[in-house]
Chain A
Amino acid sequence: MITLDNVSKTYGSGPGAVQALKDIDLQVPKGTIHGVIGLSGAGKSTLIRCVNLLERPSAGRVLIDGEDLTAMDAAALRQARHQCGMIFQHFNLLTNRTVYDNVALPLELMGQSRQTIRERVLPLLEMTGLADKTKQYPAQLSGGQKQRVAIARALASRPKVLLCDEATSALDPQTTASILTLLQEINRQLGLTILLITHEMEVVKTICHRVGLISDGRLVEDADVGDFFTAPGTQLGREFLNDFLKLEAPQALIERLEPEPSETTHPVVRLTFSGDSVSTPLISRLAREHGIDVSILQAKVESIQGRTLGLMIAELMGSASQTRQALTTLESFDLQVEVMGHVQRTD
């Protein structure tokens, strides 16, 4: 379990000081995968590096399994770091060590015997699918294989926590998927707590249980992944989601949108369905009960952590009173309705 208690980080001092993190409170319960997403420069990297004190927070406490890392002396901190594996965007493997010796490194640092090292390293290489690569050097491996070595290395000291610093950002989509699958297996098999930072919603969607959104050094959202993808609580969250789902209204439509309705306009709505509401035969009911036509401009269905998420942009075509009633009906369903604007009728 990881706890960040009111963590702040300031670089420099005086008027030129830059506050990279502001009063971050974050809890990652044991055995969960927690993602932190944000734009570049938002403070993601600083956040994860504060967890194992690669960056020392300017204020606040960092606790792993109840032990306060910020209160430890150098020797105790080194011990605590054995409990906390880390993988990196650029893998950070030692180029002059073989795959086997790279994975053995943390155990060598702990002073383990050659025998113990062997007994730990070989199963890890087996698990990460590298059993036939033990004698190769990192330069001979692909990016995905390098990250597998890094994962095996991070697990060698049998940590309770795994920190992933943009671990898939340098990989192609297929390799990313295989690395995420591996992380998920590790999480399930070893009960490992994983904190990962990323700028890719795909990563969050695929493996995270919870997600935090960081903006300008502040944690502005912290929610279950299902909730975040169905109802983000901030504008930035909605932008991330829209960007991920690529459900933007066509540019031509946006240019025609008017903020206020009139007798000669139709409303354009963005509907977000989740859970049971996805299966409701909504469009045909609107047509039947209110006598309106529904023109679907964009639609998409995603499956996120077992929950189905549907998005749709539609124009409700009917008289002003019909569409008003239709909107009321829509709002009575278990879905989110956002009136994006109004367009002039063309009929």
Chain B
Amino acid sequence: MSSALIDLVWQSTLETLYMVAVAGILSALAGVPLGVLLYVTRPRQILAQPAVNTILGIVTNVGRSVPFIILLVAIIPFTRMIVGSSIGTNAAAVPLTIAAIPFVARLVEGALNEVSPGLVEAAQSMGATPMQIIMKVLLPEARGGIINGLTITIVALVSYSAMAGAVGGGGLGDLGIRYGYNRFNPTVMLITVVVLVVMVQLFQSLGDYLVRKSDHK
């Protein structure tokens, strides 16, 4: 393997990591609160708002139904507004984030749903405000499930980022397509896949470790 190729793989690995990190952090920052809202506004929940809940649910579902490759191009004007360009790694991070937010939100909602209603009731009997219930009961008790959900999101982002090449975002998937597929170079294809497999394994192991460490169930 030539040193030029090694450079290329290294460069693409960094691009993938960059896109995944940016989209992962931003989607967690937006998706966790959205997931909490989806949960607490449910009927009979601590901030029951059935109308709000229905609207949020529909928006989230729409976000999750649009195929990523379509989302990538469909929101180009928005992307240009945010990062000033519709091509490049930063431009790819925008649709990745947008796609991941509803994904995170549903996983967080599911994790919160696993918290025993008895705990919320106990906190209510102690005079907790809805905000206190969210911050001191729901989120800490769902911590393991939320970390698990974020791990799934990160892994999905690694996979989605392969499509970033469509807007010149680079990354390992793009490398695999351009050098491995378009130029009939199976070695490059194989290398990118191996790097991706290792990356996913590492993220998953790290996630599992954090879940174990943070959860005392």
A interface vs B, CB < 8 Å? 52, 54, 77-82, 84-86, 88, 90, 92-97, 105-106, 108-110, 137-139, 153, 157, 163
Contact = CB atoms under 8 A, between A and B. Distances in A.
Contact of B126 (A90, A93, A106): A106
Interface string B103-124: 0000000000000101101111
Given A109-B123, A109-B136, A137-B216, A92 B116 contact: yes
Could you say which of B116, B122, B141, B215 has the most chain A C-beta atoms within 10 Å of its C-beta?
B122
A78 B127 CA distance: 4
Interface in B137-188: 137, 140-141, 143
Contacts of A138: 216
B128 to A, nearest CB: 5
Given A79-B127, A95-B141, 18 more contacts: A54-B121, A54-B125, A77-B127, A78-B127, A81-B126, A82-B127, A86-B125, A92-B116, A94-B141, A96-B217, A105-B126, A105-B136, A106-B126, A108-B136, A109-B123, A109-B128, A110-B127, A153-B126
A157 B116 CA distance: 23
B26 to A, nearest CB: 26
Nearest to A74: B129
B201 interface: no
A95 B128 contact: no
B118 A92 contact: yes
Interface string B191-217: 000000000000000000000001111
Nearest to B128: A109
B54 interface: no
A96 B143 CA distance: 9
Given A96-B143, A97-B140, A81 B125 contact: yes
Contact of A94 (B121, B129, B140): B140
7 contacts: A81-B126, A82-B126, A95-B217, A96-B143, A109-B132, A137-B216, A163-B125
A69 to B, nearest CB: 12
Could you say which of A85, A94, A139, A153 has the most chain B C-beta atoms within 10 Å of its C-beta?
A94
Given A86-B122, A94-B119, A96-B141, A78 B128 contact: yes
Contacts of B136: 105, 108-109
Nearest to B142: A96
B121 to A, nearest CB: 6
A132 to B, nearest CB: 18
Nearest to B215: A96
B126 A157 contact: yes
A81 B122 contact: no
Q: Closest 4 A-B residue pairs measured CB to CB?
A: A81-B127, A92-B122, A78-B127, A137-B216
A96 B214 contact: yes
Interface string B51-90: 0000000000000000000000000000000000000000
A86 B125 CA distance: 7
A110 B126 CA distance: 9
Contacts of A109: 123, 126-129, 132, 136
Nearest to A163: B125
Contacts of A86: 122, 125-126
Contact of A90 (B118, B123, B128, B215): B118
Contacts of A78: 127-129
A96 B126 contact: no
B125 A84 contact: yes
B42 to A, nearest CB: 18
A93 B123 CA distance: 10
A51 to B, nearest CB: 10
A214 to B, nearest CB: 21
Could you say which of A78, A80, A157 has the most chain B C-beta atoms within 10 Å of its C-beta?
A78
Nearest to B133: A109
